[in-house]
Structure formats: C-alpha cells, structure tokens
Amino acid sequence: MQDNTLSLLISGCKSWRLWTLLGWQDIRQRYARSTIGPFWITLSMGVMVGAIGLVYGTLFDQNMKGYLPLVGSGFVIWGLISGVLNDSCFAFINNSNYIRQSDACLWVYVFQVIWRQIIMLAHNFVIVIILQFVFGILKLGELIFFIPGLALLLLNLTWMAYLAATWSTRYRDIPQLISALVQILFYITPLMWWPKMMQKHQWLLTINPFANLVDLVRSPLLGTAAQPESWYVAIGLAVVGWTLALLTSARTYRQIAYWI
C-alpha cells in the first residue's frame, strides 16, 4: 500500500502540465475583464503593507528602514502560507466533478492550489524587491539561502495542503477551524514585530512552527541568516508531516470520491 501511495504522488508530480494549467486558469477566471488583471494582488498587498507598516512602525517607534522591509516580506510570505492553508480545504470539494469523472490523481488538485499560490507570490514579490532596493538591504551572500528556504517551506505546505483537503472533505467544519487557526497564527507569528520584542512569552514562538518557517524565507530577504533551529524545525516538520500525509493517503485515498 505504501508503494502504491508513493506511485500516486509521483503520478501527480508527472501531471504537471495539468495542474499548472488548472492553476493558471483559476487566476485568469478570477481577474477576467479586469484592466490590470492579477496585478490587483500586488496593489492590494502593497497598500496594506504601506498602511500597516507606517501605523505599527510609529506605534512601536521603529526605524522605517528596517521595519517596512520586515512587514513587507513577512506579509508576502504569510500570504503564501495562509492562501495555501485556506484554499487547500476546498481542493477536492471544488473539483468534485473532475474527481468523479476522471482518473486524474488526487495530488493534482493539491498541486493546483500550491501552483496558484506560487503565482500570487510572484506578483506580491514585486513589493519585496522594491523595498530591498529602496532601503538598500540587498545582500547577495545571504540571499542565496532564500531558494532552499522557500523550497523547504513549500515542501511543508504541500503535506499540510493534502491533509487539509482530505479532512475538509470528510468533515466540513475543518475549513472554518483552519480559517480561525490561521487568524490566530497571524498574530502570534512575528510578522509585524521582531522576535526579540517578545520578551515575556517566548514560549509562543517556541510552540509555533510557522515562526521558524517564516524565518527561513524572510531572513535572507532582510540580509541576515536564518536561525539554525529554524532549519532543524522545518526539516523535522517535513519528515513527520509527509509521513502522516502518506499514511493518510493510504487509508483514505479511495474513500474521498464518496465523501464529496
């Protein structure tokens, strides 16, 4: 059964033409007949980063040269994380007709969500690039770690997406639960504040693995190195999470079509 589960995952990866096409189609349909199309994603994110950065930077008495890039890169990365977690809940539900009528691997619909969010990340990443050049924080020596950090983040988000899609199909209260959890994580993850500012309740960062996942990707963008424990936590999370996802797939794969 484990071999069959791995073969299904590999089959989903090989169907990249299908899930990339579906992901592009989602973006095109969302912004059909719009003048600037998907760049509304960039515009809305840019306005939010500017407004929140100025307000909270003033409240926290922060130097805008360091604070705006912190908020901008943090919000862009969190947009990827929250987008994957929320959208993946409906990966199987929204594609119920395809699942019933075709023999495409279920992983295709999970990869569709990941690809769609990567496209949105690419649009929002313009904000990060602008902030880096405006405030002069670009350091190529640290920036090279952005790629492996992003790859490890996506690796973790993929198994999370599969579990969310599976259990949201079985239990329809799961999407609301995940949505509420994402909102809570937004406030306890250092997106609008530096981790060192949390002096009395460091345990909130210790129990929050998303703080480490954000650190992996954001620190290189800010010209610093990610904490070593962030790599350890992310790698350990990937091993445990993928084991759980594959075991879940082995037990529930054939039942999903009946749950929809």
Q: Domain residues of the chain, as ranges?
A: 16-27+34-259
pLDDT beyond 60 at 2: no
Contact of 194 with 178, CB cutoff 8 Å: no
94 phi and psi angles, rounded to 5 deg? -70, -20
The CA distance from 203 to 146, in Å, is 26
pLDDT beyond 60 at 240: yes
pLDDT given at position 36 = 67
pLDDT beyond 50 at 151: yes
pLDDT beyond 60 at 3: no
pLDDT given at position 182 = 96
pLDDT beyond 90 at 161: yes
pLDDT beyond 90 at 156: yes
Measuring CA to CA, how many Å separate 3 from each of 14, 158, 163, 194?
A: 16, 19, 19, 44
Q: b or e along 244-255 (b: 16 or more beta carbons within 10 Å of the residue's beta carbon)?
A: ebbebbbeebee
The CA distance from 194 to 63, in Å, is 12
pLDDT one-digit tens code per residue, 4-30: 788 889 999 999 999 999 999 888 887
The owner of tokens 């190195």 is 225
- The H or E element that residue 137 is part of is none
**For 185-211, what is the mean pLDDT?**
87
- Around Cβ 62, how many Cβ atoms within 10 Å? 19
Nearest Cα to 6, choosing from 257, 256, 254, 249? 249
The CA distance from 245 to 162, in Å, is 7
Is the pTM of the predicted complex or chain greater than 0.75?
yes
Q: Which residues contact 5 (CB under 8 A, 6 or more apart)?
A: 246, 249, 250, 253
- Around Cβ 7, how many Cβ atoms within 10 Å? 11
The CA distance from 256 to 8, in Å, is 14
35 pLDDT band, cuts 50/70/90, is low
The CA distance from 1 to 74, in Å, is 40
The owner of tokens 């492996």 is 148
The CA distance from 87 to 81, in Å, is 10
pLDDT beyond 50 at 1: no
pLDDT given at position 184 = 94
